[in-house]
Copies of this chain bind each other. A is one copy, B any other.
């Protein structure tokens, strides 16, 4: 049961920190299912219009989420490194994905509510309030996953349901 103070706090927020975390993790569950849906080989090779394979987009997402949150929490400059040594193994990337899920939950608990409006510069160049950074992480994931859906369709594979977040 939530106490009255928590209820008031929640009703005053457009979106609470815990709702935003759940929103992101819900999207990350969909992205995980999109990764799973890819045939192993095509995950690392399939391309349309000269774009990157979906594996490279997923490595970008991994390079942003935890390092970005770590910088938000610690204030220590994060390094962007999407050149991950996955050895063309989808299982390896899924393992990293699941590790990131836990790390995101742990880091999120260290962001005080008032910090979402604090202005920060991440990865040495991206400036804005913390909330805009986190929405960028999420929006970028939705954007690239949408591209992954086209790759899947072009391979004759049914993508996961977009609206199923559990």
Contacts and interface: CB of A to CB of B under 8 A. Distances in A.
A47 B27 CA distance: 25
B150 A162 contact: no
A11 B116 CA distance: 8
State the copy count for this chain: 2
A139 interface: yes
Where chain A touches its partner, the secondary structure class is helix
A153 B50 contact: yes
A86 B58 CA distance: 37
A14 B20 contact: yes
Nearest to A10: B117
A21 to B, nearest CB: 10
Nearest to A51: B153
Interface of A: 10-17, 19-20, 23, 27, 48-51, 113-114, 116-117, 129, 131-132, 135-136, 139-140, 142-147, 149-156, 162-163
